[in-house]
A and B are shown apart, each in its own frame.
Chain A
Amino acid sequence: MKIVLLSLMNAFAGWAIYVLITRGHWIAVIVLILATLLLDVIYLLPRHWTMPLKFLVPGTVFLIGFQVIPILYTIQVAFTNYSTGHVVTKSDAITQIKVTSLQPPANGRSYTMAAARDSSGNLVLILQDDTSHKNFVGTQKGLKPLPAGSVKTGALGVTSATGYTIVTGSALFALDKTLQSYIVPVGNGAGIRPQTISSAVELEPTLRYDAKNDTFVRISDGAVFHDNGKGAFAHGTDELEPGWKTGIGTKNFSRIANDPLVRQPFLRVLVWTIVFAASTVLISFAVGLFLAIALDKKGMRGQRVYRSLIVIPWAIPGFLSLLVWQGLLNDQFGVVNRIFHMSIPWLFDANWAKVSCILVSAWLTVPYFFLVSMGALQSIPEELTEAGRVDGGGPFQLFRRVTLPLLLIAVAPLLIASFAFNFNNFNNIYLLTRGGPPQANSSVAGSTDILISYTYKIAIATGKGNDFGLACAVSIIIFIIVAVISGVSFSRTRVLEDIA
């Protein structure tokens, strides 16, 4: 069994290594070879010290691949300008700038064109000037005139040319790639380039790349575009598109701290995230505890029925409940407004949407705290409350002085864990309001966006471009906040002492 699995894995790794070699990903090849050898050693050596590793390795491989590496990658991207317009490498960017800088010159000509073969089979372009109707044959060496009348044209362009065979049909489509890079030079760096399969225009570069100084020079006025160190060639504030991906140090973080366009939405979202998580947890705990106290009465009839009903929201897949609530809270035809004869814009007003988010999240979370409180209440020894009663304490006093403190000891870590969870509760926001309604200042962040949904929008889901660098920087800030909260929670509980 072990041997079968191992050889399967080795065969797979071998194939993967072969594919990677053909693509020239040498670092990946080395990593994969080392990893495979390490695994073989661990599982084949009958040494005592490999024993724990045999059990730890399978999970650790996935942990490293899809938790540790993404964490490192997130950190790395956070210090780059990786975003729309800064995706490619610098050399690709230079190539693209050269292509996009091509423009028709002032007296530029356009041609009706056909791809053709000359008598020895070489690819040429048959060209007829659209204004003067003069005929030419273009090769990659240059342009030669053809006698008038030697080229015939029809509705679909050039139909025949004396001495040349016009390429048609599937042979023409096969030439698509070749034609795209086919240039007929006409001097001064300008060239005639095919635009479609039947037309061509004369284009000349407006920018010249100076490889020695690593600059672009605008030919018209001699303006020099330098590498500005932020992933673009720039002349003053004028940047050439596209830029490239490059390290920009802590600029993403300083943008969050200083740039008002980023700082304002970020701070607003941060405050709302804390308000949302804290109120969801506190309301849910308060209601859950109240329900638990109300139903925690020995011998009460129907206790089990009530309990089952209250737990229902917890048992249903959350994404469905959220989408259902989105429908029920719709202000025009939603059930809630109709049944209670209200016309509250539950999801379309910034403040009401926040209320809705908290209420619906509480609806989803109350059952959890109900069950937890129920268990905790019953683990409190009856002697304690009995003693309090004997000493003359009223029910409210008993609850405040005896029950609640004992309960909090048991529940506090769960409250903190739940806060950390709701802090990143993407579903509860996104599937209810999508983070909306939108803010008036048209920022990416909507009124109910929490940090994690804000990050998601910055990175992926907006029409305003993808800013992976900034998104990763925000992710790291979220991590620090959550880590601090969790750290405090763990240091105050005894979890860590259990390791021994």
Chain B
Amino acid sequence: MSVIETAAAAKPAVRETPARKRPKLGDTWWRHLVGIVAGLIALFPIWFVVSAAFNADQSVSGTSYLPTHFTLNNFTQILHNTVVDQSSKSHVDSSFLRWWLNSILVSAAAALFTVILAALAAYAFSRFRFKGRRFGMLALLLIQMFPQLLLVVAIYLIVLNTGAIFGFLGLNSFTALVIVYLGGALGVNTWLMKGFFDTIPHELDESARVDGATASQIFWGVVMPLAAPIIAVVGLISFVSTMNEFVIASVILQTQHHFTLPVGMNGFIDQQYGQRWGPFAAGALIAMIPVAALFMGLQKFIVGGLTQGAVKG
């Protein structure tokens, strides 16, 4: 089953069917009840994050349904690195903006190269018939079952030893982190993209070839533009999962200046819910809005992509 087919299958869910007759409220009241309760549970933590972000009291214990004293102070503190610990009254060194930029930089680079690497491999599997093709596809699937998470010890030791020789590829290096992430670029992504490429008619390649286009011209000029939907899906899934990645980032990035958002925020709030909750909530709100917006906007595509087997964490 290809992505297109899945997306098509899921489509009626999105399109509002023209109402024959709206059911009476008497028949659907329990459905509304379920919807409202589920919506409230889904919103519960977010509601309190918003409330805490605008609340003058910086402790979790001061958080309630609505801010007791409205303030933007939490945002100023987290953005300008002027967070004051509520119990010790001392300045807390955090680098929220830098962590955020680091995260976006690393995730964007990982997503960009993941798409390119996976698309190249998928194109080979989709268009060429060669010895070991079936074996290659299977091998990808098998190797990918060993998630990089499990390899964290080996990866740590490798990066440590590489860094002793090539400093720019050692601990604290974004290049090293992105390169490590790219080790997991193929696998599921290649399968997803291959499924999509299979649905692009071969005749298009053929006619381009007849017109004298080289293989790389066909790939970049004909196939890739047509594959925009699957590129969006793979790119976004890769971006978001890199954004969420904690373990490998936490062992490779060791100084505050180099942290990504998960590593930084985890260290910032660790056991400090009484003292730093307000600025934390403000930072969390800033960080979650763009990703959530992107996700909601592209929901339609992603559902189709995910039902192919990838699972977002």
Contacts and interface: CB of A to CB of B under 8 A. Distances in A.
Contacts of A224: none
Contact of A375 (B10, B123, B262): B10
A152 to B, nearest CB: 47
B22 A58 contact: no
Contacts of A167: none
A324 interface: yes
Question: What's the dominant secondary structure at chain A's contact region?
Answer: helix
Interface string A281-305: 0000000001100110111111111
B165 A67 contact: no
Interface in B253-304: 261-262, 265-266, 269, 273-274, 277, 280-281, 284, 287-288, 291-292, 295-296, 299, 303
Interface string A306-338: 101111111111111101111110101111001
Interface stretch (B35-43, B76-84, B200-208): B35-43
B31 A475 contact: no
A67 B180 CA distance: 8
Given A316-B288, A326-B273, A328-B48, A55 B123 contact: yes
A372 B307 contact: yes
B137 interface: yes
Question: What's the dominant secondary structure at chain B's contact region?
Answer: helix
A106 interface: no
Contact of A74 (B22, B118, B150, B312): B150
A320 B288 contact: yes
Contact of B183 (A65, A326, A367): A65
Contacts of B157: 73, 77, 468
A425 interface: yes
B154 A77 contact: yes
Interface residues of A, number: 109
Contact of A297 (B23, B148, B287, B291): B23
B112 interface: no
Residue of A363, A420, A486, A499 with highest tally of chain B CB at under 10 A: A499
A179 B61 CA distance: 59
B232 interface: no
Interface stretch (A46-54, A88-96, A110-118): A46-54
A418 B123 CA distance: 28
Contacts of B179: 62, 65-66
Contacts of A49: 130
A468 B184 CA distance: 22
A164 B46 CA distance: 76
B182 to A, nearest CB: 4
A26 interface: no
A400 interface: no
B278 to A, nearest CB: 11
Contacts of A324: 45, 48-49, 281, 284
B246 A319 contact: yes
Interface string B1-24: 100001001101100110111110
A153 interface: no
A287 to B, nearest CB: 8
Interface in A408-428: 413-414, 417-418, 420-421, 424-428
Interface string A237-280: 00000000000000000000000000000000000000000000
A209 to B, nearest CB: 28
A294 to B, nearest CB: 4
Given A52-B128, A371-B303, A60 B269 contact: no
A421 B156 contact: no
A8 interface: no
B230 interface: no
B121 A426 contact: no
Interface string B92-134: 0000000000000000000000001110110110001010011
Contacts of B246: 319, 426-427, 430-431
A291 to B, nearest CB: 5
A295 B291 CA distance: 26
Contact of B186 (A63, A300, A426, A468): A63
A398 interface: no
Nearest to A367: B42
B296 A308 contact: yes
Given A56-B136, A304-B16, A319-B244, A291 B183 contact: no
Contacts of A330: 60, 273
Contacts of B287: 317, 320
Residue of B32, B148, B180, B240 with highest tally of chain A CB at under 10 A: B32
B312 A368 contact: yes
A333 B89 CA distance: 20
A333 B59 contact: yes
A296 B176 CA distance: 47
Contacts of B60: 327-328, 330, 333-335
25 contacts: A19-B166, A58-B117, A59-B182, A60-B121, A62-B179, A66-B148, A66-B180, A291-B38, A305-B39, A312-B43, A316-B46, A323-B265, A327-B60, A332-B61, A375-B10, A375-B307, A378-B9, A413-B309, A427-B262, A430-B246, A431-B266, A452-B149, A472-B154, A483-B146, A486-B145
7 interchain residue pairs of minimum CB distance: A66-B183, A333-B61, A309-B39, A306-B35, A315-B295, A55-B124, A59-B117
